[in-house]
Structures are given as C-alpha cells and as structure tokens.
Amino acid sequence: MSGARIVLWLSLTLRSACSFCRTRFMEGQPQGPANPAAMENGTVPCGEKRPPEAQETTVTEGAAKIAFPSANEVFYNPVQEFNRDLTCAVITEFARIQLGAKGIQIKVPGGKDVQKVVVDLSEQEEDKAELKEGANVAPGDQPQTAAVGEICKEGLRVLEGLAASGLRSIRFAREVPGLQSVVANDASARAVDLIRRNVQLNKVAHLVQPSQADARMLMYQHQRVSERFDIIDLDPYGSPAPFLDAAVQAVSEGGLLCVTCTDMAVLAGNSGETCYSKYGAMALKSRACHEMALRIVLHSLDLRANCYQRFVVPLLSISADFYVRVFVRVFTGQAKVKASASKQALVFQCVGCGAFHLQRLGKASGASGGRAKFSAACGPPVAPECEHCGQRHQVGGPLWAEPIHDLDFVGRVLEAVSTTPGRFHTSERIRGVLSVVTEELLDVPLYYTLDQLSSTIHCSTPSLLQLRSALLHAGFRVSLSHACKNAVKTDAPTSALWDIMRCWEKECPVKRERLSETSPAFRILSVEPRLQANFTIRDDANPSSRQRGLKRFQANPEANWGPRPRARPGGKTVGEAMEDRRRLLQNKRKEPAEDPAQRAARLKTFPCKRFKEGTCQRGNQCCYSHRPPTPKATTEAAPTDCPQTSNQNPPGPGATAGPGVD
C-alpha cells in the first residue's frame, strides 16, 4: 500500500515538473493563433505576437507612411493608388461644400482663394440639393478655418468599414481637412493591430480610431440619426453587396457613400445569375459592359435605400482598371422615393448586331397642382426580332438610367486637382479621366464601339474622327466615354447609326458573296441607307481632352498587375506561392507541351510530303520520314510542309500539338 502511494506521488511530481518546463518553454516562443479561421474572422486577441519570419515593409503613399507585412497577412494593392487619390480629392470637395454651409473654411496645402471658392460652392449646392443653411457668419466676424491634421468640432465623421492596413484612413487624416474623426474598422485582429501601429507611426491617433468589428454590425449600430457617419467608404475584396444594406442606413442625411466593386467578371455579364443574386439585376455581355456595371451598382444602391424611404444622388461614377468606383449622396424623402421606379430601366440587346434599347420600369408625368403622377411604363420598345438583322433580343437589368455624374461637382474636383497638381501622385490621370467625364453625354445611357460596328458588317474600321464627324453632320450629339477608349456615345437612333455604316461600306466595299444570307452583315447591308453620311472631318469632332493629349486611359503600371490575392491567416507569402500557382493553372485547359524527344520520334512516323514530290533538301536532317511509304503509313495524314530543322523548339503552351503541325 505504501509502495503504491510512493509511485503515485512520484508520477504527480514528474507531471508537474513537465508542465512547468513546457510553460517556460512556450513563454519564450512566439505565440500564434490555434485556429487560423478564427483569426480571419477577427476573434484572435490583438496583443498576439508576430512570428519573427514575417518581415515588414514600409510603403509611402501620399502623406502617409505605412508598415505592412511582406507576407499576405493584410491586404494591400499599390495599383489602387489612383482610387485612393481620387477618393481624397472627392472627400475634400465634399467637405468644402458641407462645412461651407456652416461658415467653416477648409485649408488645403497649396490651395488658393479658399474663402471665395467656399462661398461660391456653398451657394450652388444650396440651390441644387436644398441643403439646410447653418449659422450665418456676420460680415465682421472672422470665419472658422479647418486645416489638415486638426480636429474640427463640427467636421465630418468618416468610417472606413474594411480598413486592412489603415492606409486609406491615415491618408484621410493627413490629407483631408475638416474631419472630426475617422474610424478605421476591420474584422481581422492582425489588421487592427497593424492599424494601431501605423496610426502611431503617422501621429494621427487624435483623429483615427482603430476598431475591430464586423463592418455590417458596426454600421447597424449607428442607424440613429445622431450616430450616423457623414462619409462611409467601402472597398472590400470582391463584391460589396453584403454591406450595402447597412451602409445606406448608417450614412447621414446628404452624406457621402463611396463604394468599390472588384468583381467585374460578375458585373460584366460572365455570370448573369450571380449578378442578380448580388445586385438584383441581370448583366449582359456587351461592349458597354463597364458602364453597364456602373449602372447596375447604382441601381442596387438605390434599391436598398428605397426600403428605408431614402434615395441616392450620384456624384461621380468611375470605371478604371479592374474595378468600378461610385460616389453617391444619400437623402431621405418619401415623395422622391416614388420616382425611383422611373429612374430604372431594362435593356433589350440584339444578339446579332448589338443594338440596344432601354425600357423604363416606371413613368412619371405631370399632374394638376404641380405634383408628379407615377404609373407603369408601356412596352416593350422592340419587336420579337431585331429590325436591323432579324436576330433575337436578350433582356438585362434593371439598371440605373439617369445620369451617373454630377457635372458641377466633377468640375469642382477637376479644378481643385488642376490647381494643386503636386498634391497627388496620380494627378495627371485624375485630370484626364475627369476631363473625359465632363465631356460625356449625361442623358445617353451606354454606348457603341468602333470595332463593334465595323466587325458586325465585316468592313474596315473608320477613324474615330470620321465617325464622330458623320454623326455631327447628321445633326446628332456624340461624345466619348471614360469607360472605353473606342466608345461612341450618341443620341442618334440605331437606324441612323447603321445608315452611316452603310455609307462607309460603300466607300470600302465588302465582298457580298462571302456573306451568309442569314448573317447580320448581309441583312444590314441589303438595305439602302436613307441618310447620306458626310465623313468630312469637323473641328468640333476632336474633343478637348484628346486635343490636349491628357492621360485618359491607364497603361499597365507593372507586370501581373490587377486584383491581388485575398489576405490569408498565418502570413503565407505571396511571391513564390502565387507564382507556382500561376504556372500550375496556366493553360490548364490546353494540351501540355510535348517533350522534344517524344515529338521527334512521333514525327518520324509520318512520311515527308516534299520527299515524295522529290523537292525535300533536308536529307537526314528532316524531322519526317524519308522511307518508302507503306500501306499503313499512306493511310495516315501527311504533313503539308517540311520544317527547316529537326531540333526546332517545341510548341508553346498555347500551341496544339498534332500530326503534321510544327
């Protein structure tokens, strides 16, 4: 009995000693989350230590200096610097308008004539958006001034729902004047820990408040009028659809909502059913898919706002690189919400010639007493078959059919950026894009493209100036589009547009015998044009932005640029892992490259066609067989040509290997 007690006592003593040694050993080791999925959902404590192998990199963008992990722990994409620069410029002008109504002037580094601009902008915005006037400033009183990096007690409250490294929030604090506070929120504990360190690094702790929460829950908690944010910025990885319902409720009256969508494959028509599930609209494959994506996002925002008796007013809508970006103001008004149905439209697009027609969902008409009367619209605007080519129509939408820009606001942003060109690194591109935006026809949704019109009838492509001149000579309006370099946005009916292309085809004839009688080209060209086009170049056919040579469309900034991979827990490095994955998935649906030795042996089984004709000069160096043909060999497909050498390079990954193909 005593021996058993001694054994039990020794086992307990050894177990305690092992536990003590294990604890001391773990204290000296870096601690990581036990559950990577929990870390990604934001449930890991913020005080956790970072593994020593995760080296940090310092990046300077604008006035901010950011340290972020080299590993793919926190999302960061340097290509979106244009997005962040444009957002800072837009928020600055929005703050100038909002605070100008309160008698507060904002001071931008390098700006000129601040007081004069504030008075003009506030008066125009009051007439347009019916903003409530603040306290009037007496003539003898000195107006209050808001500077960059200072807390403005009556300033704007900003929320960045998905902050990642906090770069955007820190840039707001260091570059945008008139702010009261900036909430940098993220669900990831690692990201929030990085935000705190970057806030201290940039010395903006008095303005930027790090927050770890689900962005939707955080916005739902600020639905009260007194707790709403003046500006909400959403730049998620992929679709912002899960956050839109909460965002339209958490933004203040007349507040600014900034939304980025990077799921362009869905919005551009590759998966219409997925687009409907996320945005409530069917996307079509079209040459105007980028503008259609903008209008689908605006429709989705307005649809969600209408549920709470609110509506949106677009200020600026941009399609750039691999994403779309919209800036809208949100207002409340039951009477104006009733007009939302008349702002949406369905799209009927011909699958043959690409002609499109819009059908409004609602109709607004004037009634007695000055009130508008709303009713259902009549349609459809097209026959079952296209009147031009006889093909069927596809139905897309609903989408936003009203203007997607506010030219007054865009002009203010453009003037401010032009006044201080050194404020942003991408000022040149911002000037070019906004200049094209100011030239667009606001009341003309969607557009055609030069290559689309010419490829439909299989003719040579006219120059942009020739087609624009023909439309102007015919009495129609025409403009470019920032969303596409070869866009032709015009109020001309489709019949007039095809008449102009028929006239162009007469100058550059198409071989009609090669056209099928059921093809769209044959049916369109079989009709004589009613309109005689004049392709003489007009002076007003060349837009101002094109004459000045502005940087309207971005060239590829770097190799493999585009959407970055999603941030992963544990800090898995991006470089080697992503390169291996790209090589693995490259041409995965094509036949892999053949080994040179196997290919040479396989080609030797086929007789040489030139040897049979007696014209092959390669002799034994020919990669094909020079043996007399056998009955079995003659049944095989003979090659059509003789390569120059037997040790040529193998076909690339995109080439299809086969008999007789070199």
Residue 646: the pLDDT is: 41
| 598 pLDDT tier (thresholds 50, 70, 90) | confident
Average predicted confidence (pLDDT) for the chain: 79
* 634-646: average pLDDT: 44
| 597 pLDDT tier (thresholds 50, 70, 90) | confident
pLDDT for 230 beyond 50: yes
pLDDT for 380 beyond 80: yes
Q: Encode pLDDT of 63-115 as tens digits.
A: 888 887 765 555 567 778 889 999 999 999 999 999 989 888 888 877 664 44
Query: pTM, whole model, 2 decimals?
Result: 0.74
Query: Cβ(346)–Cβ(396) under 8 Å?
Result: yes
| 57 pLDDT tier (thresholds 50, 70, 90) | confident
Q: What percent of the chain has pLDDT over 90?
A: 47
Q: What percent of the chain has pLDDT over 70?
A: 74
Residue 37: the pLDDT is: 34
Residue 329: the pLDDT is: 96
Beta strands in 413-491 (DSSP E): 448-449, 478-481, 484-490
| 321 pLDDT tier (thresholds 50, 70, 90) | confident
Tell me which residue of 215, 229, 216, 238 sits closest to 163, measured CA to CA.
215
pLDDT for 242 beyond 90: yes
Tell me if residue 613 falls in helix, strand or coil: helix
Residue 447: the pLDDT is: 94
Number of H helices, E strands in the chain: 23, 19
| 293 pLDDT tier (thresholds 50, 70, 90) | very high
Return d(Cα 144, Cα 134) in angstroms, integer: 13
Residues facing 625 on adjacent strands: 607
Looking at the chain, how many residues does it have? 662
Q: How many CB atoms lie within 10 A of CB 580?
A: 10
Residue 549: the pLDDT is: 84
The 3 state secondary structure assigned to 189-254 is HHHHHHHHHHHHHHCCCCCEEEEECCHHHHHHCCCCHHHCEEEEEECCCCCCHHHHHHHHHHEEEE
Tokens of 608: 């040489």
Residue 368: the pLDDT is: 65
| 501 pLDDT tier (thresholds 50, 70, 90) | very high
Return d(Cα 220, Cα 222) in angstroms, integer: 5
Residue 114: the pLDDT is: 42
| 645 pLDDT tier (thresholds 50, 70, 90) | very low
Residue 128: the pLDDT is: 45
Bigger pLDDT: 599 or 171?
Answer: 171
